[in-house]
Structure 1
Amino acid sequence: MKNLLAVGVAITLGFAWGTAASAQSREDWTGFSVGILGGALTTDDDQDEGLLFDRNLDGVYGDTVSTTTSSNAFAPGFCGGSAKGPVAANGCEYDKEGMEAAGRVGYDYQWGSFVVGAIGEISGSTAEDSVTGFSGTPASYTFKRNLQGVAAARLRLGYAAGPALIYGTGGYARGRIDNRFFSSNGVNAFTTTSDDEQDLDGWQAGGGVEYRLTPQLSVTGEYLYTSLDVDDDFVVRIGRGGAPATNPFILPPNTTGTDVIRSGDQFKTHGFRIGMAYRF
């Protein structure tokens, strides 16, 4: 889907550029507009991401979860994605491409061939970003973030060439994610000590071409990069449950349990979008 939409965006940009290059008249881009867009989202996965542990519950992460023989319980390692099974050798399934639908309002003002404008946008999304840790038991522990949507306020600067406006855009973004946790470990107890839903601040940047079909209607091909900062970690506490006292998560001196978070502190996406707008 991402490749298909990327081709669609490229065709739109190429068609608009070619038409604009041969056009003799210049459209007036000053005024308000409303529009809708849709497309594919891919997450910018960090393959170096893993899980971080707080064994003594002092709020500082980076401890090693050790077995009774003082070996690292998570020696099998981590992977960027959802576990295919409890054994690390089975690997992970990488995050699927998501979809996005957005509505926007904007205002542009034109000086000669240059156009400056402002955009307000709200989008809904199905993008996801996962990371998994594997213990030697064997067992898997997967954290997943689902992007529900983004509200953004951006500026854009463009160059009008015939019926086409070639532009760059960037600005503030605020997104909401839903956190999930899954484990093949059926012995320990798992509780969350923070909110499943979190609001994240960040930014967006990209560019595209808007092409005038009529004085009121236009089509758009656009690429947009989004980076959202995770300020509050989603924490899962692993307690004893039905595990024996020799379980690595509850070994003395702390027998209460172990807090776990994911190490990645950003949610990043690449968006390939096409859309239409009505200009007043």
Structure 2
Amino acid sequence: MKPLLLAAIAGAMIAPAVSAQDMAEDTGFSGIYIGGAGGYDVQGNDVGSSILFDRNLDGRFGDTVTTATGANAFGTPAGGFCNGSTRAATSPTSAVPAGCRNDDDGWAYYGRVGADYQRGKIVVGIVGEFGKSEITDSVTAFSTTPASYVMTRSIDWEASARGRIGFTPNNSTLFYGTFGPGYARIDREFYTTNTANGFAASGKRNQFGITGGGGVEQKLGRNFSIGLEYMFHQYKDDDFRVRSGNSGTTPASNPFLLGNTSGTDFRRSDDKFRWHSMRATAAFRF
């Protein structure tokens, strides 16, 4: 027992000296590193978002879909829109949003590789990332027929290449900002309870966007560092279309066929997919 105790005391005395020597030989944040980032992604519900219609297929959205009697097929109180995915096939008569649940936040995880150069107390560098976020963003329309129409988007994967600039007061703690382009595979999906029409939709499409944020990184010895980071992501997403047409048995009096016998096109009113990330980082520095 005594040898173990003496070994522990010796280790406790030697460790600070080794750590001090590591830091004395440390070159700060200059060098190449690999690592990862993981955390939770949050998106604000897009208040006021809806589905827009091109009834005569002229490429201009914002048309009112009417029934054979001239009534608004998506008018309240029996119809309307909400910024989320539906809980039921029809909207409540008092408040449409009560029929929807909020957009889904989710976990995110990324791998990264980067390089920094330190001169004095200033650090500049580049970092590349590739990973996945589990968020989904939906909008729902309710028709008076009754039926629901849900347009949903999510992220299959995201890549980014960003510049980074920061300040270190002591060669071991770095405060930084980062910004650069992103490139993501956005998965678009459409769901409906309408069985009278036929529907055709486009699918996945890669999109360019922007990413940016900032954080703090703390070195642990010479080669390891951990940190906390906030990131903002934004992608333009305005080209997903759904066409409601003839299923083969749809009557000519169907609201989606009255403007044009070929059908009616749908698109989302909110044309930007954006979210916020709060995550932890870890890196091994060579």
Band the TM-score falls in, shorter-chain normalisation:
0.7 to 0.9
Is the contact between residue 222 and residue 273 of structure 1 (CA under 8 Å) also seen in structure 2? Answer: yes
Aligned partner of 1:99 in structure 2 is 107
C-alpha RMSD over aligned residues: 1.8
> Higher relative contact order at CA 8 Å, sep ≥6: structure 1 or structure 2?
1
Cα-to-partner distance string for 1:207-226 (whole Å, 9 max, x where unaligned): 11111111000001101000
Q: Give me the whole-angstrom Cα distance separating, in 1, the residues matched to 2:62 and 2:180.
A: 34
Moved over 2 A (4+): 23-27, 240-245
Alpha-carbon deviation of 1:244? 2.7
Give TM-score, length-normalised by structure 1: 0.86
After TM superposition, give the deviation of residue 161 of structure 1 in Å: 2.5
Unaligned runs of 5+ in 2: 1-22, 93-97
Alignment of 1:108 with 2:111, yes or no, is no
* Residue 186 in structure 1 maps to residue 195 in structure 2: yes
Compute the TM-score of the two structures, normalised by the length of structure 2: 0.84
| Distance in 1, Cα, partners of 2:162 & 2:142 | 41
Tell me by how many angstroms 1:240 deviates. 2.6
Equivalent in the alignment of 1:45 = 45
What does residue range 45-124 of structure 1 map to in structure 2 within 5 Å?
Answer: 45-75=45-75, 76-89=79-92, 90-124=98-132
1:232-247 to structure 2, matched below 5 A, reads 233-241=239-247, 242-247=249-254
Aligned residue identity for 1:143: M
| Amino-acid identity (%) | 44
**C-alpha distance in 2 between matches for 1:272 and 1:159:** 21
1:267 aligns to what SS in structure 2?
strand
For 2:104 and 2:186, locate their aligned partners in 1 and report how far apart those are by CA, in whole Å.
16
- Rounded Cα–Cα distance in structure 2 between residues aligned with 1:123 and 1:160: 28
Residue of 221, 232, 237 corresponding to 1:230: 237
- Where structure 1 has 5 or more consecutive residues not aligned to the other structure, the ranges are 1-22
Is 1:129 matched with 2:137? yes
- Equivalent positions of 1:265-276 (< 5 A) are 265-276=271-282
The answer to whether structure 1 residue 146 and structure 2 residue 157 are counterparts is: no
Max radius of gyration: which structure? 2
Aligned partner of 1:11 in structure 2 is none
SS in 1 for 2:81: strand
Instruction: Number of aligned residue pairs: give it.
Output: 254
Cα distance between partner residues in 1 of 2:48 and 2:196: 28
Aligned mates of 1:165, 1:107 — CA distance in 2: 14
How far the C-alpha of 1:170 sits from its partner, in A, is: 0.8
Tell me the amino acid that sits aligned with residue 243 of structure 2: R
Q: Alpha-carbon deviation of 1:45?
A: 3.0
| Kept after mapping to 2: 8 A contact 1:26/1:160 | no
- What pairs with 1:151-166 in structure 2 (closer than 5 Å)? 151-162=159-170, 163-166=172-175
Query: 1:82–1:93: 8 Å Cα contact kept in structure 2?
Result: yes
1:190 and 1:237 in contact (8 A); partners too: yes
| Residue aligned with 1:161, SS | coil
Task: Give the secondary structure class of the aligned counterpart of 2:68.
Answer: coil
**3-state SS, counterpart of residue 249 of structure 1:** helix
